[in-house]
Chains A and B, each alone.
Chain A
Amino acid sequence: MNDTLLLAAEAATKEGFFTQYMWLVPLLPFLSFLAIAFFGRRLPGKGHSVGIAAIVIAWVLSMLGFIELASGNAAVQKLWTWFDLEASLELSFGMHFDFLAGIMFVVVTTISMLVQIYSTGYMHDDKRYTWFYAVLSLFTASMLFLVIANNLMMMFVGWEGVGICSYLLIGHYWEEKDNSSAAIKAFITTRVGDVSLLFGIFALFLLGGTFDITELNHLAEEGEIAGTGLTIAALLLFGGAVGKSAQFPLYVWLPDAMAGPTPVSALIHAATMVVAGIYLVGRMFVVFEHAGAALDIVAIIAALTMLLAAVLALVQDDIKKVLAYSTISQLAYMMAALGVGAYTAAIFHLFTHAFFKALLFLGAGSLIHAVHSNNMSDMGGLRKFMPHTFKTFIIGSLALAGIFPLAGFFSKDEIIGEALRAASEGRQVAAWIVLVSALVTAFLTALYMTRACVKTFWGDYRGHGTPHESPGSMVTPLWFLAGASIVVGFLGFPVIGPFKEWITVPGHEHAGFSTLYNIILPIASVALAFGAIALGVLLFHRNRFRYDARSGPFGWAYRFAEHRYYLDDLYLKGIVRPVQYKLARAAYWFNQHILDGVVNGAGSGTLGAARGAYYLDQHVVDSTINGAAGLTGYSGGLLRYIQSGNVQRYAAVLFAAIALFVGVFALT
């Protein structure tokens, strides 16, 4: 026991060469942001060359760092004190580069690099091209900063940073009011979660006296912090994750966020920023485990979210919205995995999902670029026009649907398997709920992706003009991601894949990843997916029941889904409008009529007295003691008043001397 501890200590102190310098990785894109923001138009490629150069170096560094991790290095460093108050508070900037951060670094830099290359084609004619690259760089920097943070406050800085970049990019086409509104909606909705997160951080600080992530997890494990306080703190943290990772009931911003340019949707609203909530819960996993019912609540919210979103993905016409609801649903998959204790499986799904969802979004971008519409009703038959986009999109769809041997198959099956195990091992209620909704969601996922593929690639072309395949700068990243979507799943191959060695929770023998493999489950889930695909082809390709959807016996359900369960309406009419129009207006009315009325009324009532004071102040140079005493005399003529009159006169004389001095010069 002692020996293993010593070994562990040694392993932790052994630092690789590159792992020590991982703080450079966020710094590089930040410097490129500054360079592009200030000198962008004068730089080669109007800014994109600097952005891409920085992210390529960051990517290489991340890969090197990850390779060093895999050979047994880790780095935890405090870099400098941000600010402190003696003995009561210290906030520092420090880095914590372990496998979890390493995996995130690989994901973020890879996707960001590909998206920036892709955007040279997609955004080519954009009038704010340079600004776009500046914000992409800033986003990447903030995201990496969030990931490498060794304490919660620093993480919060990155967390808000990605939020503001998301706001800027969703509103990129701000000439249209709707886009600007979508940006605000995203920012405000996530900020509701952010406030919860901030108070969660406060609560943990109150309990544990530190913001340090490792220490907090350690304190929770030792039982130093426990009880209701810890449960509340964990749930407040989760509130932040609900906002950022678009879980029920705060998911409403993500579909609207599709107003941003499609490469942004791929990077921010699919692969990276939205997984920050998963990353947060993952980082604080030990705290969540010891926080009473917190994980069960996480599991149940996630189970609900994945179903609600998967159903909505079925009724969208806008291809990006299909993918947006799909992202919500898949994020819920990850969150649910965390909820049933399947830490490794959750992070694995985060990892694989980043590749195939980015692929799908960039593929959708390629389609939109060709047909100049987001709507699938303007597409159709595109497999003939855009063979590369078609093939890669199908690979991505199959990966998302969880078809063997693509990436999604491995990660999704881990989650279902772990849910089953958790259900049989004691945390029944939440785990059963997760298991059932995970299976239903798997079915729905295959169904809505079939629908999307059928509507875009089969049938006749319904749009205008003749669509063309996208340029090489866009197609190359698609193939790269398609390749990744095929191979990365093998990293988590049951029993032999190395992923489970990488992502472990301290103090756990197995961290929610199968050691023994149950062959029935994958066969069942693939059969489920194929069933869904078959049903999808029947429904959408053959048009069997299509026109019955709205008017049929389940028409009410269809309409309910079409209106997004009226959740957006509820927020708008139940919260936003009343605050904006009723509460704020009422406050203003109160302000103008009551308060100001009192002021103006009392003003005119006491105007005599006030004027007297004013008069006193203004004309005091000429007035005499008698005058001052006379003014105050009627109110009692008490000694105190006379004193005050005297002294004020004295003060005023001094002041008047200054004023006179000033005045003389003012008039010359």
Chain B
Amino acid sequence: MSEWPFLDIVVFLPLAGTLLIGLIPRARVGALRIGALAVTVVTFLLSLGILMNFDTGTADFQLGTSVEWIPEWGISYITGVDGVSLWMVMLTTFLMPLSVLASWSVERRAKPYFIFLLTLETGLLGVFVSLDLFLFYVFWEASLVPMYLLIGIWGYRNRVYAAMKFFLFTLVGSLLMLVAILFLYFSFPGSPTFNYQELLGTPLSLGTQRLLFLGFFASFAVKVPLVPLHTWLPDAHTEAPTAGSVMLAAVLLKLGAYGLIRFAIPLFPDAARELVPLVMTLAIIGIVYGAAVAIVQRDMKRLIAYSSIAHLGFIVLGVFVGSIQGMSGGILQMLNHGLSTGALFMLFGALYERRHTRRIADYGGVARSAPVLAGVFLFVALSSLGLPGLNGFVGEFLVLLGTFFRYRWWVVPAAFGIILAAIYLLWAYKRVFHGPITNDANLRIPDLRPREMVMLAPILVLIAFIGVYPKPFLDRIEPSAQKVVDQLRDSSALPEAAVGDADAP
């Protein structure tokens, strides 16, 4: 165990970094960028300390701090990471410097922009490490506002509508969760506490569990998002500035899946078990529906947004399928989707900066003028559609295998999702990068610049690395994933043997 409280430093460093940004005069945009980059890079480097000190073999929470905050209310400051949150923390710190690089063209009100970006980082990291429900809720809401402002101020034409929609959806969900948190707080038999680990054993009747689960679920399902609560996502994605889209897709959506794994299932396992068919149905609808709707999109960012809905459907499917393969695959896929979709938004953001249009039809033949950009885009698209050897396959494979083991026929519609993914991605790729150049503007598109290469290269390396050697990632995920699976699958209700034998002829 390290002497340094890496985790807490990492969480608050970006917020402290806003001080640094605050000292830089608003006119010096270059210095603001460098400052934001420096803060996020240092945060990332320090977060490597979390990774290095992480004990692989255990499902327990590690590296955290526990101090009382408002003892008379049972509120504490408790943090910690396990296999579920470790990669989410790493993903956030890893992508943030890259998002700063993707924001290089932000000239207008750069100072508040970077301040909100850094605040967002602390909010997101806080959600992933909080082990006190009150603390969690504070961070949960705190992550909402900077994103709302990023979309609402630095977004595209329809930004106000999109930001408002994003805010209202999430807020309504959050309020239901808040009610559920408070109900749980008051149901706890001992002295009142928001401590997550103590609340885990709260005795609740099935009916109460069901209601509370739905309260949490409402909030998380909006964030994931599960169909039909997804309609805020395409608007938010489309209107957000590039870095906003990147963080939204890569990390913010994971808050929902993370919440389901961390809170909804362990706190209310009986209700979760009972509602598995409902959640799985929604997940599978999301997979097919998201993919089908992605096919007909004319706006590239909307297309990527709908592909996210399909991918997140896979993640939720894996989480709720109740097998270690599904759970591990789902958690790994959270990381994978963050990398792939983050990179797709960065790449399209780069293209947008060159052509200032999101309409697919305005492109065509871009591979001729920007071959490296085209090649990198294809590489990332292939990762997104689950090509073996790249990261997406490993997670998708585990989710499908886990689903296949437990619910034979549910896998069939999910399989359609795989085929549809190939269709919408390759078709979009064809329309943007292939074919004759019909619009003269596409003749002079500059290829990737060094800054953009630097921003993308780490992601590309990770995409290939996870695809070829996912073992270090899965090894850290597995113990914690197993714990949640055990919580979801009451061993008395579903004996392992019966499941294993169900198919033997």
Interface of A with B (CB < 8 Å)?
81-86, 88-89, 153, 156-157, 159-161, 164, 167, 171, 174-177, 180-181, 183-184, 187-188, 191-192, 195, 198-199, 202-203, 205-207, 226-230, 579-581, 583-585, 587-588, 591, 595-596, 599, 603, 610, 613-614, 617, 640, 643-644, 647-648, 651-652, 654-655, 658-659, 661-662, 664-668
Given A81-B471, A644-B182, A651:B134 Cβ within 8 A: yes
Task: Give A157's nearest chain B residue, CB to CB.
Answer: B388
Inter-chain CA distance A180–B366, complex, in Å, is: 14
The reply on B9 being an interface residue by CB < 8 A is: no
Please indicate the chain A residues that have their CB under 8 angstroms from the CB of B134 in the complex: 647, 651
The A interface, classified by DSSP as helix, strand, loop or mixed, is helix
Task: Please list 29 pairs of residues, one from A and one from B, whose beta carbons are closer than 8 Å in the complex, sorted by A's number.
Answer: A83-B469, A84-B474, A88-B324, A89-B401, A159-B388, A161-B387, A171-B430, A171-B434, A174-B434, A183-B426, A184-B426, A184-B430, A188-B423, A191-B419, A195-B415, A202-B404, A206-B405, A207-B504, A227-B505, A229-B505, A587-B289, A591-B289, A610-B168, A610-B172, A613-B175, A644-B179, A647-B178, A658-B15, A665-B23
Tally of B interface residues using CB under 8 Å: 78
Q: Are A157 and B182 in contact (CB under 8 A)?
A: no
Question: Smallest distance from the beta carbon of B78 to chain A beta carbons, Å?
Answer: 16
Distance in angstroms from B185 CB to nearest chain A CB is 9
Give Cα A160–Cα B382 distance, bound, in whole angstroms: 11
Which residues of the partner chain A approach B15 to less than 8 Å between Cβ atoms?
658, 662
B contact face: mostly helix, strand, loop, or mixed: helix
Q: Return chain B residues, CB-CB under 8 Å to A226.
A: 505
**Is the pair B119, A187 in contact by a Cβ cutoff of 8 Å?**
no
What's the least CB distance linking B46 to chain A, in Å? 21
How far apart sit A644 and B215, CA to CA, in the bound complex (Å)? Answer: 14
With A176-B436, A227-B505, A647-B182 as contacts: A662 and B400 at CB distance below 8 Å: no
Whether the pair A160, B182 counts as a contact (CB closer than 8 A) is no
Closest Cβ of chain A to B342, distance in Å, is: 22
In the bound assembly, the distance between CA atoms of A198 and B137 in angstroms comes to 42
Q: Which residue of B lies closest to A228 (CB)?
A: B505
Which of A183, A584, A640 is packed against the most chain B CB atoms within 10 Å?
A584
List the A residue with the shortest CB-CB distance to B382.
A164
Q: Which of B21, B23, B394, B401 has the most CB of A within 10 A?
A: B401
B145 is an interface residue with CB less than 8 A from chain A: yes
| Other-chain contact of B504, A229, A588, A643 (Cβ < 8 Å) | A229
Residues of chain A with a CB closer than 8 A to B436's CB: 175-177
Report the Cα distance A429→B377, complex, angstroms.
51
- Residues on B with C-beta less than 8 A from A665 are 18-19, 21-23, 115
Chain-A contact segment, one of B268-276, B291-299, B355-363, B442-450: B291-299
From known contacts A83-B470, A658-B15, infer whether A591 and B387 are also in contact, taking CB-CB under 8 Å: no
A174-B367, A651-B134 known; A195 vs B328 contact (CB < 8 Å): no
Report Cα–Cα, A156/B15, bound state, in Å. 46
Whether B434 lies near A160 (C-beta < 8 A) is: no
B141 lies within 8 A of A662 (CB): no
Q: Which of B1-46 contact A (CB under 8 A)?
A: 15, 18-19, 21-23, 26
Q: Does B368 contact A (CB under 8 A)?
A: yes
Return chain A residues, CB-CB under 8 Å to B165: 599, 603
Does B422 make an interface contact (CB < 8 A)?
Answer: yes
A268 CA to B498 CA, complexed, in Å: 45
Q: Would you call B172 and A613 a contact (CB within 8 A)?
A: yes
Q: How far is the CA of A192 from the CA of B416 in the complex (A)?
A: 9
Q: Please, which residue of chain B has its CB at the minimum distance from the CB of A206?
A: B503
A-B contact count (CB 8 A): 192
Q: By the criterion CB–CB under 8 Å, are A591 and B405 in contact? A: no
Q: Which residues of A contact B26 (CB under 8 A)?
A: 668
Q: Is the beta-carbon distance between B231 and A591 smaller than 8 angstroms?
A: yes
The reply to whether B434 and A180 contact each other, CB–CB distance below 8 Å, is: yes
Q: Are A160 and B293 in contact (CB under 8 A)?
A: no
Which residues in chain B, 87-120, are within 8 Å of chain A measured between CB atoms? 111-112, 115-116, 119
A408 to B230, CA, bound (A): 59
Q: Which residues does chain A contribute within 8 Å of B119, judged by CB atoms?
A: 658, 662
Complex: how many Å from CA A512 to CA B426? 43
Contacts of A203 in B (CB 8 A): 404
Q: Which of A199, A587, A644 contacts B404 (CB 8 A)?
A: A199
B365 CB within 8 Å of chain A: yes
Chain B residue with Cβ nearest A86:
B478
- A88 x B296 contact (CB < 8 A): no
A180 with B182, Cβ < 8 A, contacts A82-B471, A191-B419, A651-B138 known? no
B172: nearest chain-A partner, CB-CB: A610
Closest to A128 in B: B371
Q: Which residues in A have their C-beta under 8 angstroms from that of B505?
A: 226-230
Q: Mark B149-167, 1 if CB is under 8 A from A, else 0.
A: 0000000000000000101
With a CB–CB cut-off of 8 A, which chain A residues contact B22?
664-666, 668
Q: Give A592 Cβ to nearest chain B Cβ, in Å.
A: 9
Inter-subunit contact A640/B400 (CB<8 Å): no
Is B228 an interface residue, CB under 8 A from the partner?
Answer: yes
B111 and A666 contacting across the interface, CB-CB below 8 Å: yes
Say how far A344's CB is from chain B's closest CB, in angstroms: 31
> Which residues of chain A have C-beta atoms less than 8 A from B232's C-beta?
599
Residues of B within 8 A of A579 (CB): 292, 295, 420
Q: Does B201 contact A (CB under 8 A)?
A: no
Kindly state the separation between the CA atoms of A643 and B187 in the bound complex, as whole angstroms.
14
Task: Quote the shortest CB–CB distance from B359 to chain A (angstroms).
Answer: 16
List the A side residues contacting B142 at CB < 8 Å: 655, 658
Complex Cα gap A592–B171 (Å) = 22
Contacts of B171 in A (CB 8 A): 610, 613-614, 617
Determine if B423 and A181 form an interchain contact, defined as CB atoms under 8 angstroms apart.
no
Q: Which of B324-350 contact A (CB under 8 A)?
A: 324-325, 328
Q: In the complex, A665→B119 CA distance in Å?
A: 12
Are A192's CB and B419's CB within 8 A? Answer: yes
Residues in chain A near residue B175, CB distance under 8 A:
613, 648
Q: Decide: B426 and A584 in contact? CB cutoff 8 A.
A: no
Do A188 and B167 touch (CB < 8 A)?
no
Q: Which residues of A contact B21 (CB under 8 A)?
A: 665
